[in-house]
A = this chain, B = another copy of it.
Amino acid sequence: MSRVLLATRNQKKLVELRRILEAEGVSGVEVIGLADVPEFPEAPETGATFEENAVAKAADAAKATGLPAIADDSGIAVDALNGMPGVLSARWSGKHGDDQANLDLLLGQIKDVPDERRGAAFVSAAALVHPDGTEKVVRGEWRGTVIREERGTNGFGYDPIFVPEGETRTSAELTPEEKDADSHRGRALRLLLPELRKLAG
């Protein structure tokens, strides 16, 4: 059983990747998180793109632990905000990781934006960096619309205000399995499956 480090402290992301690997029949890889390895200094996410941040995070983790490491950087790109919050999604309100404040702010900012201009995409870049420094970086996108009020309690971040194309429910109203099948991070992580299968040997 080979190990791969998912460079996150977010338990939901760990569970999500394990669920995807299981659903895809990849059984020879154990996914561990940052809570399972000794602490190392983590650089702040100051990249201008999701890809830059994902690669930097995974490279730091691979270097510090000697394990192949996966990291993602994800966010919501709102058309009426020229693609922002983007890489700043998790700290849009100025407070890092305050999902409610970030979501409330976004709703307030686009309150006057008419329905036909409320398109958005969830975007995820995922990077796998090997201890020898070689890397693979991929991107998944999930188009949809930002609605005006929260609905649903699954998921996290901006899920309660995002209705994916072809859906009437928000991504916080989908089951975890439905979300994996379509979501930006699901798409990105599945694009890494060939690399993960190689690790499984």
A109–B82 CB distance below 8 A: no
Q: Answer whether residue A133 sits at the interface, using C-beta atoms and an 8 A cutoff.
A: no
* Residues in chain B near residue A45, CB distance under 8 A: 112
Using Cβ atoms and an 8 Å threshold, which residues of chain B touch A9? none
Residue of B nearest to A108 (CB): B94
Q: Quick one: copies of this chain in the complex?
A: 2
Name the prevailing secondary structure of the A interface residues. loop
Is A105 positioned at the interface, with any CB of B under 8 Å from its CB? Answer: yes
Would you call A2 an interface residue if the criterion is a C-beta within 8 Å of the partner chain's C-beta atoms? no
* Interface check A83, CB cutoff 8 A: yes
* Cβ proximity bits A144-160 to B, threshold 8 Å, 1 near / 0 not: 00000000000000000
Assess whether A93 is in contact with B113, with CB atoms less than 8 Å apart.
no
Cα A111 to Cα B91 with chains together (Å): 10
Known: A93-B108, A94-B109. 4 other contacts (CB 8 A): A48-B80, A91-B112, A94-B108, A95-B108
